[in-house]
Amino acid sequence: MFKKKKNKLDFYTAHDTLIEMMPMKSRTKPPSWWKDIKNSFDQFRSRVGISIPTPTIKTCPGVVDYMRKPITLKLWSDVIFKVKSSGDVEAIEPIHDSHIIDGSMHHGQQYGDSLYPNRTVFKLHGPWCVKANFPGEYMVTECHYNEDLRKHDILVSPGITNFNHQHTLNVFLVFPIKDEDYTVMLKYGTPIMSIYPMHEKNFDIEMHKTTRQGFQEHQSIYPSTFIGRYHTGKHALKD
């Protein structure tokens, strides 16, 4: 009999320390504030004149599953974001020219004036390249129940991806634009993006070290077109 193939997500990185120090996992622990919340509290009901036990957010299965089910991408380095009044964003890493932090601007013409008024979008290039050996889509979105980005009023643009045809893992950070330049420092280990499987398949995660050139080759799978590289490549693979 043939052995059934294991479903896998293979994560490749050129930064081998991430494999040991910040491994990707298929489940996520609740944030630190969660342990301070009790399952219930006593609420006084004046109509009957007694206190009754009332459930908290900790007993809501929808919230619990939302916290625990994603693969969470955590920030792989300390980084200072300098957000200019012009809308330009610069990402500053602790060690000059280490190239562990990289990104690019998404300018306002790409998303119009209505979606993010008085905001700017910075595409933070992730340190992982992801390949799946089975079909399935994933929703990428903010880590809603973690307060680290929210306290700086930073949004994360959500979307749907798959790792059969799309192997990059980038984070679109949406910063408020202010009258003057300002900086935001985010710490190593800050949860910045949730990756939710939109399927019921079981799968394993395996992590691999690759070279910088190998990392680029894993990502460079599309034809060299100005517009529509993803769909052009997808159709080419079908043909």
Could you tell me the domains of the chain?
Answer: 8-33+70-222+231-235 (2.70.40.10)
Per-residue pLDDT of the chain (239 residues; tens, 9 = 90+): 556 789 999 999 999 899 999 999 988 889 999 999 999 999 988 888 899 999 999 999 999 999 999 999 999 999 999 999 999 999 999 987 778 999 999 989 999 999 999 999 999 999 999 999 999 999 999 999 999 999 999 999 999 999 998 899 999 999 999 999 999 999 999 999 999 999 999 999 999 999 999 998 887 776 677 676 656 666 655 65
The per-residue pLDDT for 237 is 57
Q: Which spans in the chain are helix H?
A: 17-21, 61-68, 212-219, 229-238
**Predicted pLDDT at 228:** 63
Please give the pLDDT value at position 174.
98
